[in-house]
Structure 1
Amino acid sequence: MAEDWFRVGKVVNTHGVRGEVRVISSTDFSDERYAVGSELMIRLQTNEEVSVTVSHHRIHKQFDLLQFEGYSSINDVEKFKGCTLYVSSQYLTDLDEDEYYYYEIIGCSIMTDQGATIGR
């Protein structure tokens, strides 16, 4: 079965000289997605996919700052600027009842209290 990947953020810049990247997160679960040991995929602007493992995560102002195993200098992560971060579907956790991931509800029809159907 093909693996599905879900966007969790975008690398907008580097931070410092020790290999941290500044990420604008698009996930509601940043603590879980960016936990030490989490595996992510970065899609480079050449469409090449690079697997990375989070070695450090912290929040600075409105950004998530991440460092990856094996990437210890600014020179190593410069190529990630402007790239998108993804998490594999195998790492998605079950949500509570009546909670859904966006991909689960896109394209669904909605029934209003008045009986009207919105959508498809």
Structure 2
Amino acid sequence: MISFLSELLKDRIAIGQIVNTHGLKGEVKLYPYTNQKTVLMNLSEVLLYDQKRKRYLLAKVKNVRKGPKTYLVKFEGIESIEDAEKLKGYKVYVLLSELPKPEKDEYYFYEVMGCEVVLENGESLGKVTDIIETGANDVLVVKKGKKETLIPMIKRYVIKLDKEERKITVKAMEWI
């Protein structure tokens, strides 16, 4: 079961989690993990996975509407609030191939999380453990042991982002 499940999830990424029901006719509230509205509004077939119960479902999406803080999703075969109630807590996965290709200087968070960050001289600063969205630019949270370093993702500091090698080369900063 575990190897089958890891095979199912291998080429997929979680784009949100079902947090509640909406109305009486089987709609659910999807809390998004992405700010890519096109990904959320164009859902067709998704994998639903509940890690606690180790259950998964392949589901076809009938309709998606934008709500205030969530997206309202209607799945085929989910026709009542009782049916929808059973989906609370499930994460929603899409195939990586369904994501729009990022522009040259853009990236998805999953491509950066876990990357090693090194200075120009090759010294390792650690691995990316989190990303803070500030509005102006993203800031990488890099950890090595107990030391945590914040690195703005701007051209002034980032020399190279190598997604294949999973390595980010940065200039030495005064606070490092």
TM-score tier after normalising by the smaller chain length: 0.7 to 0.9
| Alpha-carbon distance between aligned partners in 1 of 2:83 and 2:11, rounded to the nearest angstrom | 27
Structure 2: gaps spanning 5 or more residues: 1-6, 128-176
| CA deviation profile, 1:30-71 (whole Å, cap 9, x unmatched) | 3323425x2111113421210112111112221111001221
Note if contact 2:46-2:94 (Cα within 8 Å) is conserved in structure 1. Answer: yes
Structure 1: gaps spanning 5 or more residues: none
Note if contact 1:35-1:54 (Cα within 8 Å) is conserved in structure 2. Answer: no
| Alpha-carbon distance between aligned partners in 1 of 2:15 and 2:37, rounded to the nearest angstrom | 8
Residue 114 of structure 2 corresponds to residue 104 of structure 1:
no
**Greater strand content:** 2
Aligned-pair CA distance for 1:12: 0.8
Report which structure shows greater RCO (CA 8 Å, sep ≥6).
1
Task: Provide the residue aligned with 1:40 in structure 2.
Answer: 46
Note if contact 1:40-1:52 (Cα within 8 Å) is conserved in structure 2. Answer: yes
TM-score, structure 1 as length reference: 0.82
Residue 83 of structure 2 corresponds to residue 86 of structure 1:
no
Aligned length: 118
- Identity over aligned pairs, percent: 33
Aligned-pair CA distance for 1:111: 5.1
| Alpha-carbon distance between aligned partners in 1 of 2:24 and 2:88, rounded to the nearest angstrom | 14
Q: What letter is aligned with 2:47?
A: M
Cα separation, partners in 2 of 1:64 and 1:83, compared to 1, 3 Å? same
Note if contact 2:39-2:99 (Cα within 8 Å) is conserved in structure 1. Answer: no
Q: CA RMSD in A?
A: 2.3
TM-score, structure 2 as length reference: 0.58
Note if contact 1:34-1:54 (Cα within 8 Å) is conserved in structure 2. Answer: no
